[in-house]
């Protein structure tokens, strides 16, 4: 299967797509351009929200607006394009460290991790932001904190620290927001690219975007490769399900750092792509959602 470009966004580092089923719009970020973008597939309208500093991820809020993982910490906006209000810095806030990918858990907490600009091993961490503004450091020794998602029953959290070339799983306690029992469930083979962002479908299968691989791979919960979607952009970054039936897989990509020759071979690098793999996804969890609500 091959994904098709639907929006030539020309992102330097497009990341973190999330579908808003209430609006029928796709949100994503261009990290180093310091922007959250909102795209309406029905009209083709693309809107930009400036964040003033690199933004690793944005998630929807239950009461409307966004929660963002900025370079220096967490912030919220009551509406797209609205003023960002700082909630908290992360413990590792420093000029050479920024926040990266993030997502909300089943109880409405926002998880996002960090990485050093020079990719120093172990310089990052994974944090949990509770709706009351409390920040808790959940993992240390992370190098490039990246994709994460939870099973439908909330019992397992999947997580990617990119240089480990794997998808790892944790037992998840939704009530306390804690993780334990770390183990590897998917090992990405050498030459396939490095795991970046990810999402789960409604059947619990794991869809992983491969940086340097120009593809999204689908794995069973047991780690078996089940499907490959080719993407005409080598720096494939993340994916999410959306559309009216959650049957469309939206895929982000990046063009930053590619040579002129590489861009000539892959001119759609930085675009948003879509594929219909024949399965459905789930609605994104929202920040502030009450457990069981």
pLDDT of residue 108 exceeding 70: yes
Asked if residues 32 and 51 have their Cβ atoms less than 8 Å apart, the reply is no
**Number of Cβ atoms within 10 Å of the Cβ of 134:** 11
Catalytic residue, chosen from 171, 196, 201, 245, is: 196
Confidence band for 266, pLDDT divided at 50, 70 and 90 = very high
| Gap between the Cα atoms of 88 and 73, Å rounded | 6
What's the whole-model pTM score? Answer: 0.96
Average pLDDT of 45-74? Answer: 96
Asked if residues 147 and 196 have their Cβ atoms less than 8 Å apart, the reply is yes
pLDDT, tens only, 149-191: 999 999 999 999 999 999 999 999 999 999 999 999 999 999 9
Q: Please give the structure tokens belonging to residue 21.
A: 């089923």
85-89 and 97-104: which strand pairing? unpaired
Question: What are the CA-CA distances from residue 139 to residues 95, 144, 178 (Å)?
Answer: 20, 12, 11
Query: What are the residues whose beta carbons fall under 8 Å from the beta carbon of 90, sequence distance 6 or more?
Result: 72, 73, 74, 99, 114, 125, 127, 135, 137
Predicted pLDDT at 225: 98
Percentage of the chain beyond pLDDT 70 is: 97
| Gap between the Cα atoms of 105 and 81, Å rounded | 24
Predicted pLDDT at 292: 34
For residue 274, give the 3-state DSSP assignment: strand
> Is 196 one of the catalytic residues?
yes
Asked if residues 193 and 211 have their Cβ atoms less than 8 Å apart, the reply is yes
Domain layout of the chain by residue ranges: 4-275
Average pLDDT of 130-154? Answer: 96
Asked if residues 87 and 74 have their Cβ atoms less than 8 Å apart, the reply is yes
Range 72-110 burial, b when 16+ CB lie within 10 A, else e:
bbbbbbeebeeebeebbebebeeeebbbbbbbbbbbbbb
Q: What is 4-275's CATH number, 2.120.10.30, 3.90.1150.10, 3.40.50.300, 3.100.10.10? A: 2.120.10.30
Predicted pLDDT at 95: 76
**For residue 216, what are the β-bridge partners?**
209, 229
pLDDT of residue 6 exceeding 80: yes
| Gap between the Cα atoms of 249 and 255, Å rounded | 20
Predicted pLDDT at 92: 65
Predicted pLDDT at 93: 63
């Amino acid at each position: 299967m091959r994904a098709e470009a639907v929006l030539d966004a020309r992102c330097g580092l497009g990341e973190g797509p999330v579908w808003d089923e209430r609006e029928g719009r796709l949100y994503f970020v261009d990290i180093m351009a310091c922007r959250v973008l909102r795209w309406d597939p029905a009209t083709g309208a693309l809107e930009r929200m400036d964040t003033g500093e690199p933004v690793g991820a944005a998630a929807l809020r239950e009461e409307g607006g966004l929660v963002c993982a900025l370079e220096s910490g967490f912030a919220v906006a009551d509406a797209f394009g609205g003023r960002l209000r700082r909630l908290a810095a992360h413990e590792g806030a420093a000029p050479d460290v920024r926040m990266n990918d993030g997502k909300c858990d089943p109880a409405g907490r926002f998880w996002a991790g960090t990485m050093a600009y020079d990719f120093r091993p172990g310089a990052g961490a994974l944090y949990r932001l509770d709706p009351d503004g409390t920040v808790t450091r959940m993992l240390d020794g992370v190098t490039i904190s990246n994709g994460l998602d939870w099973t439908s029953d909330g019992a397992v959290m999947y997580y990617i620290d990119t240089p480990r070339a794997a998808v790892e799983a944790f037992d998840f306690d939704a009530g306390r927001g804690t993780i334990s029992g770390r183990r590897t469930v998917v090992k990405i083979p050498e030459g396939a690219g490095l795991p970046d962002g990810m999402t789960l479908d409604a059947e619990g299968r794991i869809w992983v975007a491969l940086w340097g691989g120009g593809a999204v791979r689908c794995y069973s919960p047991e780690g078996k490769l089940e499907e490959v979607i080719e993407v005409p952009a080598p720096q494939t970054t993340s994916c999410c399900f959306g559309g009216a039936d959650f049957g469309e897989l939206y895929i982000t990509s990046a063009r930053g750092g590619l040579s002129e020759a590489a861009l000539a071979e892959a001119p759609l690098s930085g675009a948003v792509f879509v594929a219909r793999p024949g399965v459905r996804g789930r609605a994104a969890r929202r920040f502030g959602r009450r457990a069981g609500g």
